[in-house]
């Protein structure tokens, strides 16, 4: 049986680029279809009925028509705009960082049902809207995203010799995909030291829900330690930098 000409899916808008006079190419992340690119016609005109429903970081119910090359958005109804998030510079920037991570860690047109990743994305955006600490949300999201995308770091035992890790400062190796004991760490390039508390937080974030994660009290130092090693792990997997990270850094320096 042939595919129906039109289909409907809920999705979050993660990227948009300009196309022609007044159109846009929108990248959507759908729980059932994965990452999709579609053309949104005339959305740059002020009278467009769709534009507000297809803005970045909007959770919408989108109707698409199949096209030869790209599908076309023919309808969109907002489910959640995460309004408080849009009024806060740090939260918006964090949201855009999440969107870039989702875009980079997913392949287009893979049609993979990954509702867990979608739910994680939406619930993290909701948390950011509630104005809870951005940093905790980001670290939780990064660790969970790695698991949902198939790159869950090994934190329980040594990623090299599989022996239980001692409660001392160990080494995190992006290449080995997890934490290494002192003996295995000797031969690794690009090692990052991971403190006992750092490892505890990462283990907790791998298994807890977001409401538990945002209640945690984390020092700035510990956050920096985790941010640095998770970023290097993401960069190792993606083989490129996450561009929005540079903006988050520059925002911290802003008075």
Chain contacts with another protein (rule: CB under 8 A): 15, 20-21, 46-47, 49, 51-53, 55-58, 78, 81, 83, 86-89, 92-93, 96-97, 99-100, 103, 243-244, 246-248, 250-251, 254-255
Q: How far is the CB of 75 from another protein (least distance, A)?
A: 11
User: Can you tell me the distance from the alpha carbon of 159 to that of 154, in angstroms, rounded to the nearest whole number?
Assistant: 6
Task: Kindly state the smallest distance separating residue 155's Cβ from another protein, in Å.
Answer: 29
Closest separation between CB of residue 36 and another protein, Å? 17
Of residues 87 and 162, the one with the C-beta less far from another protein: 87
Beta strands in the chain (DSSP E): 6-19, 23-30, 34-40, 59-65, 71-80, 170-173, 178-180, 192-194
The token pair that represents 40 in the structure block: 């949104």
In the complex with another protein, which residue's Cβ is closer, 162 or 243? 243
Quickly count: other Cβ atoms within 10 Å of residue 37's Cβ: 15
Smallest distance, another protein to C-beta of residue 88, A: 8
Q: Distance between CA 221 and CA 224 in Å, rounded?
A: 5
| Closer residue to another protein (CB): 157 or 227 | 227
Between 190 and 246, whose beta carbon lies closer to another protein?
246
Nearer to another protein, 152 or 231 (CB): 231
Pick 47 or 217: Cβ nearer another protein: 47
42 close to 48: Cβ distance less than 8 angstroms: yes
Minimum Å gap between C-beta 253 and another protein is 11
With a CB cutoff of 8 Å and minimum separation 6, the contacts of 143 are 153, 202, 205, 206, 230
Which residue has tokens 């939260």?
A: 91
Q: From the CB of 109, what's the least distance to another protein, in Å?
A: 20
Integer-rounded Cα radius of gyration of the chain: 20
Spatial neighbors of 41 by CB under 8 A, at least 6 apart, are 22, 23, 72, 73
């Amino acid at each position: 049986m042939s595919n129906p000409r039109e289909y409907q899916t809920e999705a979050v808008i993660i990227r948009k680029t300009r196309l022609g006079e007044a159109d846009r190419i929108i990248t959507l992340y759908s729980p059932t279809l994965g990452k999709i690119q579609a053309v949104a016609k005339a959305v740059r005109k002020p009278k467009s009925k769709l534009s507000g429903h297809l803005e970045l970081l909007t959770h919408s119910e989108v109707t698409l028509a199949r096209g030869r090359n790209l599908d076309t958005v023919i309808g969109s109804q907002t489910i959640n705009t995460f309004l408080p998030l849009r009024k806060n510079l740090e939260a918006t920037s964090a949201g855009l960082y999440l969107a870039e991570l989702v875009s980079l860690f997913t392949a287009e047109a893979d049609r993979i049902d990954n509702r867990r990743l979608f739910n994680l994305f939406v619930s993290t955006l909701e948390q950011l809207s509630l104005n809870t600490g951005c940093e905790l949300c980001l670290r939780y999201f990064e660790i969970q995203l790695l698991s949902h995308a198939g790159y869950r770091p090994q934190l329980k035992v040594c990623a090299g010799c599989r022996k239980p890790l001692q409660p001392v400062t160990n080494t995190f190796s992006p290449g080995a995909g997890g934490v290494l004991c002192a003996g295995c760490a000797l031969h690794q390039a690009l090692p990052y030291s991971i403190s006992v508390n750092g490892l505890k937080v990462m283990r907790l974030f791998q298994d807890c829900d977001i409401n538990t994660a945002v209640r945690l009290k984390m020092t700035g130092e510990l956050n920096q330690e985790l941010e640095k090693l998770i970023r290097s792990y993401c960069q190792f997997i993606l083989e490129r930098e996450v561009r929005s990270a540079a903006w988050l850094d520059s925002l911290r320096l802003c008075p």
